[in-house]
Chains A and B, each alone.
Chain A
Amino acid sequence: MTTVAQYNFAYLDEQTKRMIRRAILKAVAVPGYQVPFSSREMPMPYGWGTGGVQVTASIIGPSDVLKVIDQGADDTTNAVSIRAFFAKVAQVETTTRTAEATIIQTRHRIPEKPLGKGQILVYQVPIPEPLRYLEPRETETRKMHALEEYGLMHVKLYEDIARHGRIATTFAYPVKVEGRYVMDPSPTPKFDNPKMHMSAALQLFGAGREHRIYAVPPHTEVASLDFEDHPFTIQHFPEPCALCGAREVYLDEVILDDHGGHMFVCSDTDHCEDRRGAGHVGPLGVAQEAAE
């Protein structure tokens, strides 16, 4: 019987990490450009964050503190699973607190708390190509990027306005990075797009199945595509978080019963806990001491 060797620190072998780091360096040097890399088969399925996991595995060191979120929450099953993976193969410290993390791997959200210098946000990306649903062929979309030919995207946004009176893209809303490449921010709600702009943190994007890595270096311009007469706007929720009372954060709708009862709660669970810890109480919340 073949015996399974001990895995290297953070699972990937050093040659692979070096290859991925090179791709990351190139991505940082050309913000928003999708760098092909030789994605490995990981011990979790494609579509489960293999790109993000490979990026994290390549940049993580023993002194890093890792936070993993999915839908903004630390305790969603896949976030738990990825965090456990790194705790096992890299024995790094993990945290749920945004401020304490040096690396945050995320699926579908950017934390509410602004990220700082030295922090790295690693996005899991399903389809890295912002033009993919307009043009299915990679050979074509690569040409379009090379020629900076983004007319098709503007036509699509225009047609939205003509048909629906507004741009009907609510997540994975395309952005232009540093005035050059149109980039897919991964399927984060457009609510999070402004957080990418001039962020002090390094933002890395990994798409494992599609073999692409791209990046937004710190303090880089990230503009959501729009028109002068139809400027980009983000979602606003009519009510605050039911638990912590936060406004101007992204909320999840939670169904309470089968009579249409629902409430809105923070999607960013760490942010919500932080606020409740500081004494904020929402309309359905209970003061922290009383709850314990």
Chain B
Amino acid sequence: MYVAVKGGEAAIANAHALLADRRRGDRSVPGLRLDQIVQQMGLAVDRTMGEGSLYDTELAALALVQARGDLIEAIFLVRAFRTTLPRFGYSNPVRTEAMLIERRISATFKDLPGGQMLGPTFDYTHRLLDAGILDDAVPAPVTRPAEDAAAPRVTDLLGRQGLIEPDGETDPDRPVGDLTREPLDFPLDRDLRLQALARGDEGFLLALAYSTQRGYGRNHPFVGEIRIGEVEVEFDVPELGFAVNLGRIRVTECQMVNQFKGSAKVPPQFTRGYGLVFGQAERKAMAMSLVDRALRARELGEDIVAPAQDEEFVISHSDNVQATGFVEHLKLPHYVDFQADLDLIRRMRAEHDAAALKEAAE
């Protein structure tokens, strides 16, 4: 006689044990240390921090090891931890113009104050697998003397001539939008939209950004500037009456400059798309700035004709933790609903067959 499957509890415990075993792999191979991950898998750590919205390299490294290298799973672990942390307040806007720059490039000017700096980029490497990096021969540490020359943001240089729209103005008393504390309500203000994009899935934003370049909401972009480096985070302590420096974080900022012929609302000028992401995450910052610009269609009075310009579509589907949860929940049991549909299909087929028989008889 069939005995209904029991013992979900034991099955779960066994699955967890097996997962722990597979995660560790061959015990004769040394286990990963978090400092190894932080130092040698830095870009994976950065992506985990960025989409996990929590700047902590060690926690991100732990999440990566625990997730067996599955980035979205690692991001999920970080998010689930972050959500339990108390909120003390919101920092002041970071001043990226005062960044300690490691990489800074502009595609719009051959040279500019502060210079172009390639920094640690893959850009001009030949993608040839190099087993040589596995040798113990350690490259000599590379450092660069600190630059004294100021490196103003390209958009500020252009802005002085009135050729590009200025930074948006916000009322300093306006509360900071926080999508992790308030439900989203479309249409969004740009602060919330940028927040959602900064947490959004790199792959999804990359594909959308690519679609704008291929004509689905084209907006003629130029990389005004990409800069990667460390910025200071300051926090206003009401009791003290001044801002306190909490420390430095590494960020990637991208300012995309876009041609704009003007509309009924706005005169012809260059417009901007903005990207800012934790760590070194250039692809993400660039994709973000393209999508940000595309999503400004409504504000600039452009026709909304492409997916990347559709705020509700983009923002509702950009979060990979939400997306993976809902897609993967399909593997949970659905047999009650399947039974309901099965019953309906059987009835409809029976009617269909009966009708066919009747027709044949006539």
Residues of A near any B CB (own CB < 8 A): 1-2, 4-5, 7, 13, 36-43, 45-48, 50, 70-72, 75-81, 84, 107-109, 126, 137-139, 164-165, 168, 170-172, 187-191, 209, 211-212, 235, 243, 250-254, 256, 263, 265, 267, 269, 284, 286
Q: Which residues of B contact A165 (CB under 8 A)?
A: 351
Within 8 Å by CB of B337, from A84, A137, A187, A265, lies: A187
Cβ contact within 8 Å between B343 and A235? yes
- Closest residue of chain A to B341 (Cβ to Cβ) is A170
- Closest residue of chain B to A236 (Cβ to Cβ) is B343
Residues of B near any A CB (own CB < 8 A): 1-2, 4-9, 11-12, 56, 58-59, 76, 79-84, 86, 180-187, 312, 316, 321-322, 324-329, 332-337, 339-344, 348, 351
Q: In the bound complex, what is the Cα–Cα distance between A5 and B302 (angstroms)?
A: 49
Q: In the bound complex, what is the Cα–Cα distance between A165 and B181 (angstroms)?
A: 47
- Closest residue of chain A to B83 (Cβ to Cβ) is A41
| Known A48-B332, A78-B332, A108-B334: A4·B81 in contact at CB below 8 Å | yes
Q: How far is the CB of A163 from chain B (nearest CB, A)?
A: 10
Please classify the interface of chain A as helix (H, G, I), strand (E, B), loop, or mixed, using the class held by over half of its residues. Answer: loop
A-B contact pairs, 8 of them (CB 8 A): A2-B56, A5-B84, A42-B80, A46-B325, A48-B332, A75-B6, A77-B12, A252-B335
- Closest residue of chain B to A256 (Cβ to Cβ) is B2
Q: Which residues of B contact A172 (CB under 8 A)?
A: 337
Within 8 Å by CB of B186, from A138, A168, A252, A269, lies: A138
Cβ contact within 8 Å between A253 and B342? yes
Besides A171-B340, A263-B2, 12 other A-B contacts (C-beta < 8 A): A5-B84, A41-B79, A48-B329, A70-B333, A75-B8, A77-B333, A170-B340, A187-B334, A189-B340, A243-B4, A252-B335, A256-B2
- Closest residue of chain B to A41 (Cβ to Cβ) is B83
Q: Which residues of A contact B4 (CB under 8 A)?
A: 243, 254, 265, 269
Q: Which residues of A contact B6 (CB under 8 A)?
A: 75
Within 8 Å by CB of B80, from A36, A43, A243, A265, lies: A43
Q: In the bound complex, what is the Cα–Cα distance between A40 and B83 (angstroms)?
A: 7
Q: How far is the CB of B187 from chain A (nearest CB, A)?
A: 7
| Known A48-B329, A77-B8, A284-B1: A108·B336 in contact at CB below 8 Å | yes
Q: How far is the CB of A263 from chain B (nearest CB, A)?
A: 7
Cβ contact within 8 Å between A47 and B326? yes
Q: Which residues of A contact B187 (CB under 8 A)?
A: 139
Cβ contact within 8 Å between B2 and A189? no
Q: How far is the CB of B7 from chain A (nearest CB, A)?
A: 7
Cβ contact within 8 Å between A126 and B183? no
> Which 3 pairs, one residue from A and one from B, show the smallest C-beta to C-beta distance?
A47-B329, A46-B325, A170-B340
- Closest residue of chain B to A72 (Cβ to Cβ) is B336
Cβ contact within 8 Å between B58 and A1? yes
Q: Which residues of A contact B337 (CB under 8 A)?
A: 108, 170-172, 187, 189
- Closest residue of chain B to A263 (Cβ to Cβ) is B2
Cβ contact within 8 Å between A79 and B340? no
Within 8 Å by CB of A41, from B5, B80, B336, B351, lies: B80
